[in-house]
Every structure is written in C-alpha cells, then in structure tokens.
Amino acid sequence: MSIIRKWSGDGLSAGALTTGSVGTGDAAWSSVVAGHTIEAAGTRSPRIAVPDDAVAYYTRWLALGNLSTWAARYAFRWASGAPGGSIGLIEARDSAGNQVFRIEINTSGLVRIRNASAATWSQTTGGLVAAQDYRVEVYGGSGTLNLRIYQGDSTTPYISQSSAVETATVDEIRFGRHSGQTLTGERRDDFAVSDTAALIGPPIPPSVDAGPAQNVAAAATVNLTATAGGGGSISSYAWTFVYPTSGAPTLTGASTSSASFTAGAAGNLYILQCVVTDSEGATATDTVEVRVPVAGGTAIAPLPVNGSGSSGWTIGGGSSTEGAALADSNDATYVASPTVTGVETARRWRLSPSAAKTSGQVAVRLSTDSGTANVTVRLVEGSTVRQTWTQAITSVVTEYTFNLSSPAMAAIGDWANLYVEVGATS
C-alpha cells in the first residue's frame, strides 16, 4: 500500500483549516469551516469540531492524480439519531468535478452508497448508534467499491458493503457533509487517502523500546540503542537525561537511534529517555537505566530522585522537587505524607546502585509533625519486596538504621535496582 496523503498527529492549531483555502499536493485541503476548534482525541490526533448548524461542512483533498484505484479513511463522531436530510461521509469526484460515488447517511440513519447519478447502489438495513465514534473506510477500482465502517478502533466491521461501480478515476476526495443539514456534535479526525484498493486500517501510533537496563563499571563507555516502530516512518530520535538533571555526561548521537556516553564514578545512576517522532507528528517515549554499582561498605543510601507511589505527598522547606529535599544534608527540607489515617499511604525512593554485599543496612530519617505514627519500611528490588521493618516514630527527627537479614540478601538478584519504601499509618 502506498499512502499518498495523510493528516494526523498532535500540534495543529485552531483555524488550521479555513474557509476557501485550496492548494495542491499535501497542502490540498479545502474546508468551509470558519473559526472551528481542534479538540484532543486521545494521544493520537486532533479532531475538527464542526459547528452545529445547517451548512455543508466538508474537508477535501484535491489533485490526487486521477487515481484508478483508491482508498480513503477517516474517523467521525455520530452524536445524534437520524438527520433531517442526508449527511455525507465520503464523496469522490473526477478531475472534471463530476461525482464518482458518495457514502452517506440518510434520513432514517441508514448508510448507503450512491453512484454518479445519485442512484442508490446499496443500503444497510440497520443504522448507526448515537454517541459513538466510527471509522469509515472505502476502497475500490476495477469495477467494485467496498465500504467498511468500524466502531472505534475495532478491526471487526460494524457495517460491510460492496457495490458495482463504474471505473471512473478519482481526483478529489471529500470528507463530511455535502449538504446543508444539521448534525449535532460532529467531529472528524485521522484522514488518509491511498492509491491502492485496500483497507488503510486504524492509525497505528509509534512505539519505542530504549533497551534493557545496564549495570556498568565506572568510566565505561555506555552504548544505547532504541528500537522504534509503528504505523508511520520514524522521522526523529531524541535522547536526554532524566536523571541527573544537571551535571550529566555528554551524550554522543543523541538525535539518532544509537547514543553513547562515558559513565562516571561508582554509585552513579543515570536515567535516560528516548522520544521518537513519526512522519505524522505522533510521539512515543521510553526510559532506560544505566547503573554504576559501588562495591564495599554496608550502608545503601537513597538517591536524590523523585519518588513514586501514593499521591498527596508534599515537599516542605522550600525545595522544588523531592530529589532536592532528599539531597539536603539537614532536616529543613523534607517530603511529607498526607494526613496519617488507618489506611496506609506509601512512597518509594531509589537507592544508590550497589554491588552484592554480605551485610547491609538502609538508613532513613523519619519524624511526625506532631504525635506518633507507625511506619513500615520496605526494601524493594524492582517491584518485589525483599524485607520489611516496622517502626514507631515521634515528632523528634531520628535516623533509623535497618539491617538486612541474610535471607533477604540471598534473595536479591540485582543490587543495583533497589528501592526503599516508607508507608505510614496511624
């Protein structure tokens, strides 16, 4: 399949389609929509919100090159029942402006295919369901026109029709109302035209895998490789450090699928993300960790990174991030839980990458703002809890040291992927 025209992807602004704008090629859009707005449609593409009035609002591609085989697709919102008059979905015209075929919804809410003379070739026995998103696809050539309508991103047709059709070439595709009928809450998105008589299918967002986590030695060269895919071609890669936020090593090849850098001293953790953008402007993101384990010693210190887990935890003392609060050497800055109740609220922070140990301990400074509370401290490897301690705390800031047991240490498979979790209850 050769998709020769597409319009998808985030980032379009209101008014991107304006009254009377006509061009050729990829700019060959025309619309009688004036002052419309773009509405978000998930993470994939914008939607054109069409005014609720009785005007012929359609969007079209011109100068397609007299296609002998064709396919067209777009998504639309069917928000009401039967209209007062026929509502166009897709219409094709030849280079002289003559109608080749038209897909429309009639006054009974049924979908029908009409030929060049406006005669009905075929018509469904059931109508569309109100307040539902649909994807309409039509493809044809060599005497047959095929229509498929899907609910949402389903791959099972809700409506399937085929009709005999003359072999006129197609030079223009119109999407949307061809007559002045009101359709409340109409929206459209994900337009595409192909020069092959085959289904185009739903838009496929890009995907990216930034690769597996790596444990490396100090001063080692770290090589990163992202694997990307999806419906469109990948047009760009962008590697950046998520942690540390400052003082990170220099990245080589940051705008390619393969990047590299030189690791720092033992005990460092690097979190990088790769953002890929496809040819339609859609993006995907994945992160990867690079750890430089430190050998020796028993203490494993929390890193100054933001935590994860229960919401409602706040930062006190003026720090802008949890990581900055944890990095402060005094107790003026801190991370505070929500008001403690009988239901546990828990937060998890990353520990410094470590090599395997024969003895180990985790130290956490804890206190309440007033009164007492019971705290559960957990050592977590990845997502698996390896050891749990309980501690009663007061309003006096105290550093509590928790020793790792031999069974817990024997169970740890990756000492560079440890977290400490603090859960508070009344």
Which pair of tokens denotes residue 315?
Answer: 């930062």
pLDDT digits (tens, 9 = 90+) for 1-39: 444 555 543 333 333 333 333 333 334 444 444 344 444
- Determine contact, residues 128/109, Cβ cutoff 8 Å: yes
Would 256 be classed as within a structural domain? yes
196: tokens are: 């092959």
Of 57-71, 145-159, 412-426, the range with the highest mean pLDDT is 412-426
Last residue of a domain, one of 291, 319, 348: 291
Residues 116 and 224 both lie in one domain: no
Strand partners, 399: 365
pLDDT digits (tens, 9 = 90+) for 248-281: 999 999 999 999 999 999 999 999 999 998 776 6
Same domain? 71 vs 115: yes
Q: Which range, 65-74, 327-336, 409-418, has the best average confidence (pLDDT)?
A: 409-418
Residue 296 falls inside a structural domain: no
Percentage of residues in the chain with pLDDT exceeding 70?
A: 84
Residues 242 and 265 reside in one and the same domain: yes
Q: Is 391 exposed, middle or buried (0-12, 13-18, 19+ CB in 10 A)?
A: middle
Pairing of strands 214-215, 120-127: unpaired
Residues 283, 317, single domain; the answer is: no
| Residue 375, token pair as written in the block | 């705290």
Is 256 within 8 Å of 236 (Cβ atoms)? no
Residues 181 and 218 in one domain: no
301 domain residue, yes or no: no
**pLDDT, position 19:** 32
Q: Is residue 97 part of a domain?
A: yes
Buried b (16+ CB within 10 A) or exposed e, 40-78: ebeebbbbbbbeeeebebbbbbbebeebebbbbbbbbbb
Asked if residue 237 belongs to a domain, the reply is yes
- Between 119 and 162, residue with greater pLDDT: 162
Q: What is the 3-state secondary structure (H, E, C) of the chain?
A: CCEEEEECCCCCCCCCCCECCCCCHHHCEEECCCCCEEEEECCCEEEEECCCCCCCCEEEECCCCCECCEEEEEEEEECCCCCCCCEEEEEEECCCCCEEEEEEECCCCEEEEECCCCCEEEEEEEECCCCEEEEEEEEEECCEEEEEEEECCCCCCCEEEEEECCCCCECEEEEECCCCCCCCCCEEEEEEEECCCCCCCCCCCCEEECCCCEECCCCCEEEEECEEECCCCEEEEEEEEEECCCCCCCCECCCCCEEEEECCCCCCEEEEEEEEEECCCCEEEEEEEEECCECCCCECCECCCCCEECCCCEEECCCCCHHHHHHCCCCCCEEECCCCCCCCEEEEEEECCECCCCCCEEEEEECCCCCCEEEEEEEEECCEEEEEEEEEECCCCEEEEEECCHHHHHHCCCCCCEEEEEEEEC
- The 10s digit of each residue's pLDDT in 283-334 is 889 999 999 999 888 888 888 888 999 989 999 888 888 878 877 777 888 8
Residue 300 inside a domain? The answer is no
Q: Tell me, yes or no, whether 78 lies in a domain.
A: yes
Q: Quick one: which of 60, 161, 154 has its CA closest to 105?
A: 161
Alpha-carbon distance 317 to 335, whole Å?
9
Q: Are residues 324 and 405 in the same domain?
A: yes
Q: What is the pLDDT of residues 190-202, one digit of tens each?
A: 778 888 899 988 8
Same domain for 278 and 397?
no
Domain around 361: 308-425
- CATH number of the domain that residue 341 is part of: 2.60.120
Q: How far does CA 257 lie from the centroid of its chain?
A: 19
CATH of the domain at 172: 2.60.120.200
Please indicate, yes or no, whether residues 172 and 142 belong to a single structural domain of this protein. Answer: yes
Give the CATH number of the domain where residue 238 resides.
2.60.40.10
Q: Are strands 283-291 and 214-215 parallel, antiparallel or unpaired?
A: parallel
- What is the residue whose two structure tokens read 């409506």? 159
Total number of domains constituting the chain:
3
Whether 278 contacts 234, CB under 8 Å: yes
The verdict on residue 168 lying in a domain is yes
Do 136 and 70 share a structural domain?
A: yes
> How many other β-carbons are positioned within 10 Å of the β-carbon of residue 302?
21
Region class of 16: left (phi > 0), else alpha (psi between -120 and 50), else beta: alpha
Residues 64, 155 share a domain: yes
Residues 170 and 229 in one domain: no
187 and 211: one domain?
A: no
Domain boundary among 143, 162, 194: 194
Name the band, by pLDDT with cuts 50, 70 and 90, for residue 371: confident
Q: From CA 419, how far away is CA 421, in angstroms rounded?
A: 6
